[in-house]
Amino acid sequence: MLSQPSTVLYVEDNEGNRMLVRRVLEAEGYSVLEAGNATEGFELAQEKRPDLILIDINLPETDGLTLTSRLKATPSFMSTPIIAITANVMRGDRERSLAAGCDGYIQKPIDVDFLPLQIAQYLQPDSHTGS
Ligand code: MN
């Protein structure tokens, strides 16, 4: 359990995934914010300044990589860890995610046993290796 709750913003259009991630992360002591599309996600990020942002690549209208680029181009989010989440197993997704500025990459289906560890690693200041 974290002594001071970290806030995670999850931008995802699939409600089932949002509920799953919220349940898992809240059980670990995180505060979880949800947005269903990129516009909401950008606004919520600006308003709440989360410690870490999870972004589904496949969002309606503006996709998750475009949102990532927008966030990383905004000074207040340059150092905020952003992790891409995708169901696509096509080669090149990891590279495209990193090129868009994502600090990491998680593939669906989300491994709920592993997710908290992944999040915790990205919240450590020295762990932004992009792997
Ligand atoms: Mn989606």
Instruction: Return the percentage of the chain with pLDDT > 90, whole number.
Output: 76
Ligand 1 centre distance from Cα of residue 40 (Å): 14
* pLDDT computed for residue 131 by the predictor: 45
pLDDT in tens, 72-114: 999 999 999 999 998 766 677 888 888 899 999 898 889 999 9
Ligand 1 centre distance from Cα of residue 76 (Å): 25
Query: C-alpha distances in angstroms, 91 versus 38, 45, 96, 130?
Result: 24, 29, 9, 17
* pLDDT computed for residue 125 by the predictor: 65
Q: Which residues line ion ligand 1, judged by CB < 5 Å?
A: 13, 56, 58
CA distance 79 to 114: 23
* pLDDT computed for residue 29 by the predictor: 95
